A and B are shown apart, each in its own frame.
Chain A
């Protein structure tokens, strides 16, 4: 079963150059996919097309097997939760609490359950002490944490993160990742599409999709993608640290058959 099916998609902003020309892409249900691509390659545009925030000009997009059209767009949006690249574009409520509540109200969650859900998700992202604050008065990373809580609280079928943790330090990023992975254990069918410049995050993904110039340049498992270091470099991208370490050791005559740090350390100290 596919969560997202894109066929022959063409799109351009208002009289401008085409961002996508005949793009096709399938994403299986329940997969954790990381999307990489240089600045301006079309990642955010793709996310907005999948959520129906932008309208396709040619081709089709199916979500859970249903083709997006004008009539079902609200139903489709209810299945997808998106965290925008700039969290300021996300906030509606006067307080953090209202903001998380807003999405839940839209999903017709009963009032008595609401408080419990809000607390639970605020806690998951470490923002439970800030529920009565105004979103605009938060620090950059706090805003991102709240935006993530608001979307996850709705337990959407498909979660799209557009650089949702770009203002968090590696430890903060890891905490959020754990929250997501735990949720995926709970809701087996949850599909995650995470757009990021952080190649370390891509190591944990089921699948890595590299976008360039409006096309899918590479698609595969992290292992399949990250051995193409020369191509990635040409696309302004990078490979995770462990791959760089392994490759450079190899060039110096120390071959490693693993990217597991502990095993590499052990071998080096034999």
Chain B
């Protein structure tokens, strides 16, 4: 289930005074089963880009291939419903996604739309709620009467309920408490190991380093880099240019290296691997 962008441009409100070209010739390929992060400054085009993957937005020019589907300018691709079953998108703001009277109906909406009955869905909905740390007491509550983080969990559950092979996640951990964020990412990683392709837009660079195989760096609607996270975060000049900061673990590691410690930086992802490498290399300082 690969995703290919071919020279994609996207312009909001064309030929109006508000015209804004948010994507400027974007080309890349995400292979089946990859876990790819997308990062970039505020307004760099991340949300615009990912909304092309399930044809919510159609390119102004260029093409996108998602598996057998071809997404081109002007007309919705044939069988767009099937495309949305394959590629599920969790929006940046959960409120854009919630609309049913109850949490149950909201999570069940997708599968129902694809022909599954409410009864058949019920166990699955409950299972998903448990996975996402939602109390089953909320089943019959209105999603609009939930806290911000609870809404986010319902929105994610609603997409997982469709069981798409590509998961496109726009800032899925914004608003989640720290434990919730890690649990949710671990869940995505597990689904990834089971074969799903994951596209994760995030501004949490620690998560990019810990969870992503590769990362796309956007700047003003164009791709500045597409590489493994460690290579991106070790490239100070690139980071400077795109206005992003490396995670603290990398910054500390760089300071140690600059002070003469010989660290095996390829192995460092988080605080435990950092300390592990420090223990190994201590005494090696010049």
Which residues of A are in contact with B by a Cβ distance under 8 Å? 13, 37-40, 43-44, 85-86, 88, 126, 133-134, 137-142, 145, 163, 166-172, 174, 197, 199-200, 233, 236-238, 241-242, 244-245, 248-249, 252, 254, 261-262, 264-266, 268-270
Contact = CB atoms under 8 A, between A and B. Distances in A.
Interface residues of B, number: 52
B100 interface: no
Interface in B149-186: 149-150, 153, 171, 174-181
Q: Which 10 residue pairs across A and B have the least CB separation, nearest first?
A: A39-B149, A141-B42, A169-B203, A238-B178, A236-B179, A269-B259, A269-B285, A38-B177, A40-B147, A166-B174
B164 to A, nearest CB: 22
B248 A199 contact: no
A134 B19 CA distance: 12
Given A38-B177, A166-B175, A140 B39 contact: no
A13 to B, nearest CB: 7
A249 B279 CA distance: 9
Given A139-B47, A241-B248, 15 more contacts: A39-B148, A39-B176, A40-B150, A88-B95, A163-B175, A171-B243, A171-B245, A197-B176, A236-B179, A245-B252, A249-B278, A252-B275, A254-B282, A265-B255, A266-B259
B43 interface: yes
Given A38-B177, A197-B177, A236-B180, A170 B203 contact: yes
| B146, B203, B245, B278 — most chain A CB neighbours (10 Å) | B203
B256 A236 contact: no
Nearest to B178: A238
B192 to A, nearest CB: 23
B244 A171 contact: yes
Contact of B205 (A142, A169, A199, A269): A169
B18 A245 contact: no
B148 A44 contact: yes
Contacts of A242: 248
B180 A39 contact: yes
A174 B248 CA distance: 13
A145 B43 CA distance: 11
Contacts of A140: 47, 92-93, 171
B195 interface: no
Contacts of B278: 249, 254, 268
Nearest to B285: A269
| A88, A139, A245, A262 — most chain B CB neighbours (10 Å) | A139
B187 interface: no
B238 interface: no
Given A197-B177, A236-B178, A137 B271 contact: no
B180 A241 contact: no
A40 B271 contact: no
A241 B271 contact: yes
B95 A86 contact: yes
